[in-house]
Amino acid sequence: MIESSDLRMTRIPLSHGAGHMPALGFGTLIPDPAVTITATRDALEAGFRHFDCAERYGNEHEVGKALEAGLAAGGIAREDIFVTTKLWNSNHRPQRVEPAFETSLARLGLKYLDLYLIHTPFAFQPGDDQDPRDQNGNALYDHDVTLLDTWKAMETLVDHGKCRAIGLSDISLNELKSIYESARIKPSVVQVEAQPYLPETELLEYCKEKGIVFLAFAPLGHGVRPGLLEDRVISAIAARVGKTPAQVLLAWAVERGTAVLTTPRSAARARENFDISPLPEDALDEINRIQTRQRLNEVVKTGVPGFIPQGR
Ligand SMILES: NC(=O)c1ccc[n+]([C@@H]2O[C@H](COP(=O)([O-])OP(=O)(O)OC[C@H]3O[C@@H](n4cnc5c(N)ncnc54)[C@H](OP(=O)(O)O)[C@@H]3O)[C@@H](O)[C@H]2O)c1
């Protein structure tokens, strides 16, 4: 990790000389198109330089518009921001990967992506239906394509220079090891749920050993209440250091060497979530000793989005 005296500016190097990822990232999983635009602009203005998107979120066009306007207004260059999007489950067949990538790129209005992720290791029936189901409502999987087949098509995107790095999301340690061992271009990033109730320590250690950036989502427990934002240990630390629980949770994530995604939807929240500073060592230890264990997002088990944001 590139240490910075300013925790907000922490940048983590990507393997293969693919640049650096700003550790503090803004997630765009926002159901409302108008809110997507204002929240993305607010995040850029607050200082966020890392934007996490996905074709499945259905709002790449809005994110792209907001970034275009925000970059122009702030005199910020494309190279100064880091943009990720993700390949959805219904596009895992190798011949569908490049078209899906190009479509996302066009919707975002960008010429290249900093990072492209396979959104989940589960392949759904190929096609335009992002949520194919049988008569009983069960997800329809595609058993004729392996994750390695899809990964090889992702490697071709890097070869063609349209995408600087590739990675995986919602993946288990065993699945990651299998791809890592077979891959010609190793995964640069893994995006998974991680928070004090689900620290994923073993996966984090493996990523550190292999130089893979560990990118955590749900750092605030998806905002579910009661939950992490009201946790007794987190609240006590927040009161002691004069920060909010959200700031404590985000600082902990960055200080343990992960990148992290958060989704503030207002300008005030964007400023709050960007304004993190280092925690005292004993506070980090206290958080690491929290015993509660809870996974909030079940997507990792089925590939079906496991969490519907409040308000959807
Ligand atoms: N790979 C995957 O499968 C996957 C799955 C889920 C998410 N993600 C990514 O991760 C990103 C982060 O999403 P997340 O749900 O994990 O984010 P999060 O920041 O943990 O949770 C967002 C929730 O926290 C609330 N919140 C934000 N800032 C707050 C603050 N300062 N104080 C109190 N509450 C606050 C928001 O409330 P308000 O709505 O009221 O602002 C919202 O309900 C997503 O946008 C997406 O890019 C990826």
| Separation between Cα atoms, residue 212 and residue 206, nearest integer Å | 8
60 in ligand 1 pocket by Cβ < 6 Å? Answer: no
Strand partners, 57: none
180 in active site: no
| Separation between Cα atoms, residue 215 and residue 194, nearest integer Å | 8
To test the ligand 1 pocket, which listed residue (217, 231, 272, 276) has its Cβ within 8 A of the most ligand atoms? 217
To test the ligand 1 pocket, which listed residue (55, 176, 261) has its Cβ within 8 A of the most ligand atoms? 261
Closest-lying ligand 1 atom to the alpha carbon of residue 266 = 41
Please check whether residue 83 is in contact with residue 126, taking contact to mean a CB–CB distance below 8 angstroms. no
27 in ligand 1 pocket by Cβ < 6 Å? Answer: yes
| Separation between Cα atoms, residue 26 and residue 50, nearest integer Å | 6
| 115 Rama class: left (phi>0) / alpha (psi -120 to 50) / beta | beta
At 262, the amino acid letter reads: T
Residue 156 Cα to ligand 1 middle (Å)? 32
225 in ligand 1 pocket by Cβ < 6 Å? Answer: no
Residue 111 Cα to ligand 1 middle (Å)? 27
125 in ligand 1 pocket by Cβ < 6 Å? Answer: no
Strand partners, 20: 13
* pLDDT in the model for residue 311: 43
150 in ligand 1 pocket by Cβ < 6 Å? Answer: no
Please check whether residue 260 is in contact with residue 248, taking contact to mean a CB–CB distance below 8 angstroms. no
Q: What is the pLDDT of residues 107-128, one digit of tens each?
A: 999 999 999 999 999 999 999 9
Instruction: Identify the residue whose C-alpha is closest to ligand 1 atom 34.
Output: 223
Per residue, the 3-state secondary structure of the chain, as one string, reads CECCCCHHHCEEECHHHCCEEECEEEECCCCCHHHHHHHHHHHHHHCCCEEECCHHHCCHHHHHHHHHHHHHHHCCCHHHCEEEEEECHHHCCHHHHHHHHHHHHHHHCCCCEEEEEECCCCCECCCCCCCCECCCCCECECCCCCHHHHHHHHHHHHHCCCEEEEEEECCCHHHHHHHHHHCCCCCCEEEEECECCECCHHHHHHHHHHCCEEEEECCCHHHCCCCHHHCHHHHHHHHHHCCCHHHHHHHHHHHCCCEEEECCCCHHHHHHHHCCCCCCHHHHHHHHCCCCCCCCCCHHHHCCCCCCCCCC
Residue 269 Cα to ligand 1 middle (Å)? 11
Exactly one of 57, 116, 180, 206 is catalytic; name it.
Answer: 57
Q: What is the pLDDT of residues 250-260, one digit of tens each?
A: 999 999 999 99
To test the ligand 1 pocket, which listed residue (262, 271, 296) has its Cβ within 8 A of the most ligand atoms? 262
| 107 Rama class: left (phi>0) / alpha (psi -120 to 50) / beta | alpha
Please check whether residue 189 is in contact with residue 14, taking contact to mean a CB–CB distance below 8 angstroms. yes
Residue 220 Cα to ligand 1 middle (Å)? 7
Low-confidence residues of the chain, pLDDT below 50? 310-312
Of 13, 111, 104, 91, nearest to 55 (Cα)? 104
List Cβ neighbours of 23 (8 Å cut-off, separation of 6 or more): 1, 10, 11, 12, 50, 254, 258, 259, 260
* pLDDT in the model for residue 312: 38
First to last CA, the chain: 36
> Residue with structure tokens 């750092």?
219
169 in ligand 1 pocket by Cβ < 6 Å? Answer: yes
